[in-house]
A and B are shown apart, each in its own frame.
Chain A
Amino acid sequence: MTERSGTTGLVPPRPAWVRSGRRPGLRRSVASGLLVCVLATAPQTDAASANAGLIAVPVPKLAGAEESVARALGAARAQLDALVARDNVEPHELADAFGETGLLYHAHVAFDAAEACYQNAMVLAPDDFRWPYLLAYVHQQNGRLEQAARYYRKALAVQPDHLPAKLRLAEVYIELEQLGRAEPLLEAAVSSDELKARALSGLGQIALARRDYQRAATLLEQALAAAPDASRLHYTLAMAYRGLKDLERARYHLEQRGEHEPEIPDALIDGLATLSTGPHTLYRYAMSAVRAHRYDAAAEAFSEALEMEPDNVNARVSLARALYLAGNRVAAEESLEQVLTQSPDQPLANLLLGVMYEQKRSPDKAIASYRRALQGDPAHAGAHYHLANALARSGRYEAAAPHYAQTLQQAPDMLRARTMEVIALIRSGAPRAMIQERLEAARDRYPDNQLFAYCLALLLAASPQDSAADAERALMLGMELYEQAPVPEHAELVAMAYAAMGKFEEAVPTMETALATAAAFQAYELVPRLEAELKAYRQGKPTPGGWRDHSPRLEPPPTDAVAVFRDYPSDTPY
């Protein structure tokens, strides 16, 4: 990264790519003499002469912009004005000055000023690809598609082999419903490994628009193969398969759908973000990089911003996340430790550190971290959930259950937490009434969930409060479950319900079925229990053993540290 203007007040030195845009071997014509003469009578850019074809560059109102941004833009403008006022300035030098000032304006979304700068740069250096290209991009960002197309074409006239420009023009043509003009441009871009996925995606969308679903599916599969992380492609592919009436494939792809689209690696456009000055523009860039899964770039931007705002603990947590996801776990941990020296109870930092400790198989340290997170935010759903899981893994179900309950207060749709709460309550010996209440609530929310139905039926059959009604309900649930999935546990459940009703003449053959099914499923671990139950039923005795032992052998899922670092929502990422 080049030095930032935020500290020196100077315009940043031009990155190499800015220098590279001019077509090699170009020499300016005699017209430059006339140009200088005209400009000498108009020292300020806002008095640019119509004869020279230059336009006035508006001065953006900088009120509200960060001080470092205002300083940088002000300094750049002053430099430009000074250059314009000089005599004998080479046109390409002036063009570069307009262009680079335009870039700075563009990076800070002073679009009007950027547009004017690029226009002037284009007039002064008509063979420089950069200026019409960037001008086209400004128009595209503002939805002015006809103008965008015009300037992309102009740029391509200068540099016909610029594939990103072809691709962007193609995308503009698609929105302008000029699909025929878009196609050859996209086909050209397919030749580039970097742009292939995006180009194929565009071709696929054209095929979809024409309802050529087979072609769309073929192209989009190729796009996905070229960019497996481009999760948004799954949607368009799903629509193609839907058009082909292949609903199974369509559903599969819809389940994979995400928001990440194939990228257009483009040094010129990507470089805009690096011109942003001031911490908040850096944060925005960092978050944008995070969303694009460019964690190295995100970490770099967070680091730079933190040099200006070292006390921003939220940003430092985000830095830690970016570092972790970029593979730099040591630096991530150091960053989190630094946060905790500033803010010991910072909830997210403690949560993330806890997750790291779990990865290092230090469950006690992890538990301590989660507890500290809860000191900072007693309602923190993530801390409650991970703490509950850590406690459950170490067999401390009684301690785990209330934390699952707290998780559900904040995140009532978290099925895993609801499942584990039930399991924890069962295993910890919680009162039957409490467990039943939880199960009934779970069934209301998830009426099709087999586990909740199973646990409820188990409870009713093996520990009937109101014997007749409970056992009948257990029987009904058990039969439904068996019909959905004829596994030995469900057959056992039905037998238990019959036994609870005193109907041993039904319980016996049902249990025999359970045993046969266990053999067929090779679930030999169930056999001793089933045989003991069968023996009891043959003697007209109730189900032996505690019902809690029948409960599903579920453990908390392993902590997916990457998912937590990547996906845990943060209200204030900086």
Chain B
Amino acid sequence: MSGELYLAEIMGAGAALFDYDNDGDLDVYLVQGGMLGPGKTLADAVFPPPPGRDLRDRLFRNDLVVGEDGERRLRFTDVTEASGIRAQGYGMGVATGDFDNDGFTDLYVTNFGGNQLLRNNGDGTFSDTTEKSGTGDPGWSVSAAFIDYDRDGWLDLYVGDYVKLDLAKQKHCYSTSSALDYCTPLVYEPTPDRLYHNRGDGSFEDASDSAGITQAFGAALGVVVADVNGDGWPDIYVANDASPNQLWINQGNGTFRDDAMMAGAAVNMGGAAEGSMGVDAADYDSDGDVDLFTTNLTAETNTLYVNDGQGWFEDRTITMGLAAPSNAYTGFGTGWYDFDNDGWLDLFVANGAVAIKALSNTSDPFPLRQTNQLFRSEAGRGFSEVTADAGPALRLSEVSRGAAFGDVDNDGDTDILVTNDSGPVHLLLNQTGSRASWLGLRVVDAKGCDALGARVEIRPASDPPLWRRVHTDGSYASASDPRVLVGLGTRRASPTVLVHWPDDQVEEWRNLPLNRYSTLRQGEGDEPGSREKGSHD
């Protein structure tokens, strides 16, 4: 924080939970900002970092130890130096995916300034392959997502770009109090997003214009990839700040068409474009289609868009009980995860304000703190806020931004890594979900790479199916565990699991062991409906 109220200082940063060394547990990548402004040094910082600490992104290796008695000892080791990662841009976010299909997850770091593509060498180190890949994107990017939009087996890359910010021409914005404040994005010119097509040889081509995604754009903050209309082609939903969102429907021929307005997913029910930051896509009501959720500014409510099954949506925020509880908060990172493993997707929102706005009597130089929120699904018929019952971890009041989700201690429930603006990262360990039955799935293609975009259908014996996506994207500027963790509540019988692969093939697994992780590899399943067969760790 330079004290100059640069917009970039209030927007970051995210984090990633991913298994960089393929040892079966989730490691952590933290994105870091820095000092902005001509002539500014760390000595000028409003919140100086601890002495001797240089500001750079960091990689922490998970050294989880599970004792014979099942006790878990979680410990992280800073392996940044050893990794060779030199990410010293003004960091915003991170996306994860195996872009070169070598079985090791790579990183794409978004910055205020040029982005970086860091290739995982598979030996604990990373190489900066930005220049060769052509994915540098010099603008201000926040969220990004790997997506195989043409289904050629190579992960392409969608990058959400925010606004044009020139520090040399800093705009001065005032709140109604007459004091200087952070500007809204409306003061700046939004910049078009980028779509990079993977050539399969380590390089990408900028397909933004030919794909049509430059035809409409706003100040993009949240990006999520999902097949919203069930045609087998991955679509892209972009949450924009203070302007209508985009819903890029994949035409199946290398191009996209923005259907957000007619689809009812561009603005809220009242027709107002909202300050959308975070986003997620999931089948929260278990009706077989993908719904959308965006987090927005204070006094706007977050917004729930419910899919009608054909890729059109209705704003059901109010009727699902999500309006009133979110009105007083500014939401950022978010995710639909089954925190109590009852089979229904719950919702977590990381909150933190963006404008100082009010004259208050506090001497806090950064009065933007808000508590985060947890909403429990009422069997898909609505949500109730259970923040107060979720323990002291949910009573932290900070300026939260990113949220990455994953089972960090491999105990069968989803944990949350929350990043804070000018504050420490917090790892919220779930203490509840592992008490219920669960099924853990690592879904990989024939080459052993996480099958991003695959859909998993879980069919319990006598209940409607549950649907989950294999993904790392969504939330805000963050990347999550690609494994699918399915809560089964009190069920003891192993459900039938069908994987709908991105290439339209479907395979079935039966009798998978409960309460542990299994790997489902394409080609090793059965024809749906045929004899049972299982593959597990």
Contact = CB atoms under 8 A, between A and B. Distances in A.
B177 A142 contact: no
Contact of B318 (A108, A113, A177, A281): A177
A208 B316 CA distance: 10
A205 B269 CA distance: 7
A239 interface: yes
Interface residues of B, number: 42
Given A58-B361, A254-B262, A69 B298 contact: no
B329 A108 contact: no
Nearest to B298: A143
Contacts of A209: 269, 316, 318-319
B121 to A, nearest CB: 39
Interface SS, A side = helix
Contact of B363 (A61, A65, A572): A61
A142 B298 CA distance: 7
B175 interface: yes
Given A177-B319, A236-B271, A254 B261 contact: yes
Contacts of B319: 177, 209
A144 interface: yes
Interface stretch (A11-19, A187-195, A227-235, A428-436): A227-235
Nearest to A108: B177
A444 B328 CA distance: 46
Nearest to A206: B318
Interface in B254-277: 261-262, 264, 267, 269-273
Most buried by B among A175, A247, A444: A175
Interface stretch (B9-17, B199-207, B333-341, B352-360): B352-360
Interface in B320-367: 321, 323-324, 326-329, 357-363
A568 to B, nearest CB: 14
Contact of B176 (A146, A281, A445): A281
Given A236-B271, A250-B262, A177 B179 contact: no
B120 interface: no
A259 B318 contact: no
Nearest to B301: A175
B65 to A, nearest CB: 44
A62 B363 CA distance: 11
Interface string B121-165: 000000000000000000000000000000000000000000000
Contacts of A111: 358, 360
B174 interface: yes
Given A174-B318, A284-B176, A61 B272 contact: no
Interface SS, B side = loop
A109 B328 contact: no
B318 A142 contact: no
Interface string A272-287: 0000111011011000
A69 B179 CA distance: 9
Given A64-B179, A205-B269, A209-B318, A144 B359 contact: no
B60 interface: no
A122 interface: no
Interface in A73-106: 73, 105
A151 to B, nearest CB: 15
B270 A109 contact: no
Nearest to A144: B328
A291 to B, nearest CB: 10
B174 A283 contact: yes
Contact of B360 (A61, A144, A572): A61
B361 A60 contact: yes
Nearest to B362: A61
Interface in A167-218: 174-177, 179, 201, 205, 208-209, 211
Interface in A208-267: 208-209, 211, 232-236, 238-239, 242, 247, 250-251, 254, 257, 259, 261
B532 interface: no
Contacts of A277: 178
A interface, how many residues as a size bin? 35 or more
Given A61-B363, A242-B264, A284 B324 contact: no
Contacts of A47: none
B180 interface: yes
Given A143-B299, A281-B176, A208 B312 contact: no
Contacts of B272: 232, 259, 261
B209 interface: yes
A379 interface: no
B318 A235 contact: no
B500 interface: no
A109 B209 contact: no
A506 interface: no
B131 to A, nearest CB: 26
A113 B361 contact: yes
A201 B301 CA distance: 19
A109 B318 contact: no
B459 interface: no
Contact of B271 (A73, A235, A444): A235
A177 B324 contact: yes
Contacts of A60: 359-361
B357 A109 contact: yes
A108 B359 contact: yes
Nearest to B263: A242
Nearest to B188: A571
A189 to B, nearest CB: 16
B318 A175 contact: yes
Contacts of A247: 262
A66 B209 CA distance: 46
B257 to A, nearest CB: 12
B171 interface: yes
Contact of A142 (B174, B324, B328): B328
A467 interface: no
A107 B176 CA distance: 7
A65 B179 contact: yes
A434 to B, nearest CB: 22
B99 to A, nearest CB: 28
A143 B178 contact: no
Interface in A372-405: none
A232 B360 contact: no
Interface in B348-391: 357-363
Given A143-B328, A177-B321, A64 B180 contact: yes
A145 interface: yes
A141 interface: yes
A290 to B, nearest CB: 13
Nearest to A141: B299
A310 to B, nearest CB: 18
Contacts of B324: 145-146, 175-177
A110 interface: yes
A469 interface: no
Contacts of B174: 280-281, 283-284
A413 B321 CA distance: 41
Interface of B: 171, 174-180, 187, 209, 215, 261-262, 264, 267, 269-273, 298-299, 301, 312, 314, 316, 318-319, 321, 323-324, 326-329, 357-363
23 contacts: A61-B363, A64-B179, A64-B180, A65-B177, A107-B176, A109-B175, A109-B177, A111-B360, A112-B360, A140-B299, A143-B327, A174-B318, A177-B321, A233-B271, A235-B267, A239-B269, A239-B314, A242-B312, A250-B262, A276-B176, A280-B178, A281-B174, A281-B178
Given A65-B177, A175-B301, A247-B262, 16 more contacts: A58-B361, A61-B362, A108-B177, A112-B358, A143-B326, A143-B327, A143-B328, A175-B324, A176-B323, A239-B269, A239-B314, A251-B262, A254-B261, A278-B178, A281-B177, A284-B176
Ranked 8 nearest A-B pairs via Cβ = A235-B271, A143-B328, A143-B327, A64-B179, A58-B361, A60-B359, A280-B174, A110-B359
Interface of A: 58-66, 68-69, 73, 105, 107-113, 140-146, 174-177, 179, 201, 205, 208-209, 211, 232-236, 238-239, 242, 247, 250-251, 254, 257, 259, 261, 276-278, 280-281, 283-284, 413, 444-445, 571-572
